[in-house]
Chain A
């Protein structure tokens, strides 16, 4: 299915990303520009940027593939992706902006005053970032292979290079512009082919999708020893709580002007995501019209890209495929650059800069370390994406959400709302949640198919690992009241007091 138009679309998206990234290079002057765009991004631009960054390979290809495969039960995924922002809105949006921190490790350190917690948080950012980057590279590889016949390593490699250049060149400001643009590219690229395909389907007498009755019934088992209710509840919980713990999501909140702006941004984000997620089920249903069963050797992740040319031959089909391929690349690039940005920041601050500073007597230009970090942040996940067995795009992304839900979510929730959180409690919660979730994820990725309850529990750890982490943090905190950080009250005043109230001492200088 080699298609020169698709190749052109992919090249166009990559070049546009680089061009806009280059624009940011001229705008970025100070180090804070690199991280948070100088905090002058308007709520609407910010919301588009969040949407653009958030809609990844999983949303663009993976969700439709899973719905095609398993039916209405998989619509819970986009529901969870969207509701994650509702949860984020009511629990952390405004306080997180008021905390004045750049990244999750910054927040953890500012709230708890502990270097050790900062280090653990940094390790978690790198872990979650890698887990989330792997499916982006895999999605890019399978897209490029499908539309151009390129070898399997190529798509991921292209994404890796473009991102390293864009992040290394302009940092966050360029990325904010790029991301805002990416949302609209992705929405158009998924919506236009969907409407054309629907019209073609309608003209051909609107044939019904060829499916089992269970395809239409929520919470129906996919196999005899499946546990659909546990699986679904755990996934939705992971997505709802995991969103706030994703490193590339919260970093966007620091670019809002204030806490009220952060909330308004989130409301717009929910509207943008809701609009986008109307589309994947259309592809899934049309997919069942065109392919009652998947052809041998074809993964369901490619169903979106295969549809146009089964409905219409010639130039129209090629054009639609090209749109989808371009949109898919926009998805890989935007999510991967947001993640790479966060991981880069952590590598730069925690690992590279202290070492470079010692090496060169504290006289290293900050930007160079940042660029080396950007290369590291994409190279390692790319290599892993070539080594790891593909689990399905949306499934791997789900694991990243579960890890975030079991570690950062309890830390943030307690950190924002509970004064008695102690340093030891926070640390115990992070370690217990992280070990439980990571252990389950590793087992799922390595062991083929456990089946039954053991398989269900390990493949969907959020349901038990998150409450476990939360309970550990609370119990250890109550047992170690002497370890409550001294600055807790000041932090709480800063997190919750509206910006309009003038506070001379409790605010941080902007």
Chain B
């Protein structure tokens, strides 16, 4: 049975430390790629919708046309929510990691 925390292995760059570090990096990278993929899909949705449903081009809400509403307004709160969600998830990954490597 091991009696010292993995944090020491991380610090001393042992093989075990490397395995834990890889796990952390992979979890974080997966989260990042998910956010980037969501962003890309979200951005390309506008031209796709405008092409597939031409009626949306003339659509307007409160006198503002649909493309302006999406690009000029809706993008920003969406980006903010996505950013906040990412930050929470990333902090949780780090929290879990900290607990694992610091427990003796």
**A residues bordering B, Cβ < 8 Å?**
72, 75-76, 79, 82-83, 85-87, 89-91, 94, 206, 216-219, 229, 236, 260, 263-264, 266-267, 270-271, 273-275, 277-278, 281, 417, 489-490, 492-493, 496-498, 500-506
Min CB distance A213 to B, Å, is 9
Given A86-B82, A89-B87, A278-B72, residue A496 in contact with residue B50 (CB < 8 A): no
**In the complex, are the beta carbons of B91 and A263 less than 8 A apart?**
yes
**In the complex, are the beta carbons of B7 and A86 less than 8 A apart?**
no
Given A278-B73, A489-B18, A496-B28, residue A266 in contact with residue B68 (CB < 8 A): no
Given A86-B79, A266-B83, A496-B21, residue A501 in contact with residue B29 (CB < 8 A): no
**In the complex, are the beta carbons of A79 and B21 less than 8 A apart?**
no
**In the complex, are the beta carbons of A498 and B87 less than 8 A apart?**
no
Per-position 1/0 for B9-23, Cβ under 8 A of A: 011110001100100
Min CB distance B96 to A, Å, is 10
12 inter-chain pairs at a CB distance below 8 angstroms, sorted by A residue, are: A75-B68, A79-B71, A83-B39, A206-B63, A218-B46, A218-B50, A236-B43, A267-B87, A270-B83, A501-B97, A503-B11, A506-B11
Query: For this complex, into which size category does the number of interface residues on chain B fall?
Result: 35 or more
**In the complex, are the beta carbons of B7 and A502 less than 8 A apart?**
yes
Given A218-B67, A501-B98, A502-B7, residue A277 in contact with residue B90 (CB < 8 A): no
The CA-CA distance from A402 to B63 in the complex, in Å, is 35
**In the complex, are the beta carbons of B79 and A216 less than 8 A apart?**
no
The CA-CA distance from A492 to B22 in the complex, in Å, is 10
Q: Which B residues touch A275, using CB under 8 A?
A: 76
The CA-CA distance from A335 to B75 in the complex, in Å, is 24
The closest CB in chain A to the CB of B68 belongs to: A72
Min CB distance A121 to B, Å, is 23
The closest CB in chain B to the CB of A497 belongs to: B10
Min CB distance B2 to A, Å, is 17
**Which 3 A-B pairs give the minimum distances between C-beta atoms?**
A274-B76, A90-B32, A498-B94
Given A489-B18, A496-B25, residue A267 in contact with residue B80 (CB < 8 A): yes
Indicate whether B104 reaches chain A with its CB closer than 8 angstroms: no
Given A267-B87, A270-B83, A493-B13, residue A86 in contact with residue B67 (CB < 8 A): no
Per-position 1/0 for B47-60, Cβ under 8 A of A: 10010000001000
Min CB distance A133 to B, Å, is 27
**In the complex, are the beta carbons of A82 and B43 less than 8 A apart?**
no
Min CB distance B16 to A, Å, is 13
* Of listed A85, A89, A497, A505, residue having the most chain B CB within 10 A: A497
**In the complex, are the beta carbons of A79 and B13 less than 8 A apart?**
no
A79-B75, A86-B79 given. 13 additional CB < 8 A pairs? A72-B67, A75-B71, A85-B83, A87-B39, A89-B87, A218-B46, A218-B67, A263-B87, A278-B72, A489-B21, A500-B98, A501-B101, A506-B11
